[in-house]
Amino acid sequence: MRLNKIFKNTLLVLAACLVLSACATKKEVATDIKGQMQGDVYTGTDTVEYLADGVPDRVFFATNESILTTASRETLRTQAAWLRKNPNINVVLEGHADERGTREYNLALGERRANAAKDYLMTYGISSDRITVLSYGKERPVDSGSNPLAWSKNRRSVTVKAN
């Protein structure tokens, strides 16, 4: 009986926590949309993974664009430095588009974005033999949302270890 009561109370507390945290995250999202995008390029870190300590794996693009932003170029220089230090590692650059475009055009756009990243890595001394480009178009979003923030996370080129 007593155990049961404790259990019940714990549940209540847990439920209260859930409600509170739900509110907290909602507020954060509302205030953070601006802070997470510059123009319509994603600048947040939610979806970013790391190839190694301090080496982010992805760069983001504006709608219909494949131009690298200042932040993207910095990320790619970090990747290039890491690749130079690890000459045995090859990479696949996976290019993606958001859902607001026709499927076939988006396949081409994903390829163009990944190639923009590839060209930049090459200017920093990475041989094209070590880089494969693979476009997924809009087929593999990271965020399933139908809003500008979700789309900005999905317009990306991700550097993935190939071996």
Can you give the binding site for another protein, defined by CB under 8 A?
64, 66, 99-105, 107-109, 111-112, 115-116, 119, 133-135, 139-147, 150
Q: How far is the CB of 7 from another protein (least distance, A)?
A: 29
DSSP state of 1: -
Closer CB to another protein, residue 1 or residue 30? Answer: 30
Cβ-in-10-Å burial (0-12, 13-18, 19+) of 104 comes to: exposed
Binning the chain into helix, strand and coil, the percentages to the nearest 5 are 50, 20, 30
CA-wise closest residue to 76 among 159, 19, 137: 159
Q: How far is the CB of 76 from another protein (least distance, A)?
A: 15
Closer CB to another protein, residue 84 or residue 103? Answer: 103
Closer CB to another protein, residue 52 or residue 89? Answer: 89
